[in-house]
């Protein structure tokens, strides 16, 4: 198993306030979840998790947002927060905090909608910040293509650097292949992973990344005149 533990891109620009606030909010919400009695935990997840059958019928659309702050377990939370910490701060520092939080929420909503549309009949709640974080990964690969990611190889407890394009490219290809593989199943959460939420968020991030680059380039041209 490979786990990203850092990147070579040092954030320049505004302080990534919302990145750290999102991490704190997700951790706080998870502790709130796990301190509930088990029966209440299940009710809480079904109330605030994103249930595709409800979304596609126009019911309880608030869960497109609330589901981003719930997690299914410790490793789910830790993995997501590691990715958020490594990749999101650079984006926020570059585009500014207000644009970043709007982008993050937008990515999470698009991810949840993608999952819901492709699993319209599912009554299994989908939770986690993965979709919004996938949007950050998509934007990162466009905005910082020359960066490298420090990766920990857990089997041998050693780390090495790999170009971000390769690391994130491998990640999204794996998500896509896994997503294709379960399209014929009754639901896409058969192994507990909402692959199409990740894919939807990642594509949203790529589109945003190219739009931002185009806007920044246009601003540079205008400044020259």
Domain ranges of the chain: 2-224
* Exposure class string for 71-84: b at 16+ Cβ within 10 A, else e: bbeeebbebbbbbb
CA-wise closest residue to 209 among 87, 119, 38? 87
CB atoms under 10 Å from CB of 18, counted, come to 20
| pLDDT single digits (tens) 142-188 | 999 999 999 888 777 888 899 999 999 999 999 999 988 877 554 44
Instruction: Say which residues have a Cβ less than 8 Å from residue 212's Cβ, sequence separation at least 6.
Output: 95, 139, 143
What's the predicted TM-score (pTM) here?
Answer: 0.90
| pLDDT single digits (tens) 109-155 | 999 999 999 999 899 999 999 999 999 999 999 999 999 999 888 77
**2-224 classified as CATH 1.10.10.10:** no
- Eight-state DSSP code of residue 85: I
69/30 Cα distance (integer angstroms):
8
| pLDDT single digits (tens) 15-44 | 899 999 999 999 999 999 999 998 899 999
69/84 Cα distance (integer angstroms):
13
């Amino acid at each position: 198993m490979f786990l990203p533990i850092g990147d070579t891109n040092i954030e320049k620009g505004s302080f990534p306030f919302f990145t750290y606030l999102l991490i704190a909010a997700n951790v706080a919400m998870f502790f709130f979840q796990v301190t509930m009695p088990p029966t209440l935990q299940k009710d809480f997840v079904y109330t605030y998790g994103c249930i595709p059958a409800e979304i596609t019928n126009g019911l309880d659309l608030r869960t497109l947002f609330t589901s981003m702050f719930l997690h299914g377990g410790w490793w789910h939370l830790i993995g997501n927060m590691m990715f958020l910490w490594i990749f999101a701060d650079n984006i926020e520092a570059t585009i500014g905090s207000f644009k970043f939080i709007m982008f993050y929420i937008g990515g999470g909503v698009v991810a949840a909608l993608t999952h819901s549309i492709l699993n319209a009949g599912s009554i299994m709640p989908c939770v986690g910040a993965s979709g919004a974080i996938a949007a950050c990964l998509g934007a990162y690969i466009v905005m910082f293509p020359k960066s490298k990611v420090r990766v920990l190889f857990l089997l041998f407890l050693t780390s090495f650097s790999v170009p971000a394009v390769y690391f994130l490219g491998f990640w999204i290809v794996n998500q896509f292949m896994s997503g294709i593989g379960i399209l014929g199943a009754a639901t896409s959460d058969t192994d507990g992973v909402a692959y199409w939420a990740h894919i939807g968020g990642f594509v949203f991030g790529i589109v945003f990344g190219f739009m931002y680059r185009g806007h920044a380039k246009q601003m540079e041209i205008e400044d020259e005149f």
